[in-house]
Amino acid sequence: MYLLLTLTVIFSDPAKTKPLFIPADAFTSPQQYGLTRDFINQIDSDMTSVRETRRALGEESDCATAPAQARGDIDATGTILEIASGWDAELRIVTSLARVKLQSGEEVLVEFPFGSMRLGRTTWCTSDRQLKAGDAIAFNARRVQSTPARLIATAREVVR
């Protein structure tokens, strides 16, 4: 349950000055994660702004489309051990953070650009694709500076 323990601390930039990935559980238990009502209201405002922008551009899908990402320098294959959805404060989308065991045996945290979560009465989502624990995946990713360290997947394929 490494991922769940890791997620008790909100991911932040290396200087620990701003949150980068906020697990969905933080919005149902904000005090446990040290989130203020103003902070949650700001995230809700950000989410609403993103949705309104998409609708103004003619996108009627219930889920957002993740912005295109440049190809990363890491190609890997592995199995998802745990996965949780949350809010990526930089991309301003819902994403999924997974603990992945690579074929080499190494375990890494990988953020995938899709997922769903609830905030208040609204369900927010990015893409209709979903992954679950046990899925074997091949993915391309880039390493990002964060505490704890994680990879951002730029492309993935479920291997059945």
Domain of residue 117: give its range. 2-159
- Which is nearest to 83 in space by CA: 105, 100, 66, 102? 100
Q: pLDDT (tens digit, 9 = 90+) per residue, 105-119? A: 999 999 998 888 888
- Give the C-alpha separation, 74 to 72, whole Å: 6
Q: What's the total number of domains in the chain?
A: 1
Q: Is the peptide bond before 30 cis (omega within 30 degrees of 0)?
A: no
Contacts 24+ apart (CB under 8 A), 127-133: 127/63, 127/64, 127/65, 127/66, 128/63, 131/80, 131/83, 131/96, 131/98, 131/158, 132/80, 132/83, 133/80, 133/81, 133/82, 133/83
Q: From the centroid of its chain, how far is CA 28?
A: 17
- Residue 97 near residue 133, CB atoms below 8 Å: no
Q: pLDDT (tens digit, 9 = 90+) per residue, 110-143? A: 999 888 888 877 788 888 778 899 999 999 999 9
- Residue 125 near residue 100, CB atoms below 8 Å: no
pLDDT per residue as tens, the chain (160 positions): 445 444 445 667 777 777 788 888 888 888 888 888 888 888 888 878 877 887 888 777 777 777 788 889 999 999 999 998 988 888 888 889 999 999 999 999 999 988 888 887 778 888 877 889 999 999 999 998 887 788 888 877 766 5
pTM beyond cutoff 0.75: yes
Find the CATH number of the domain harbouring 122.
2.40.50.140
3-state helix, strand, coil in the chain (%, to 5): 20, 45, 35
The pair of structure tokens assigned to 26 is 């933080």
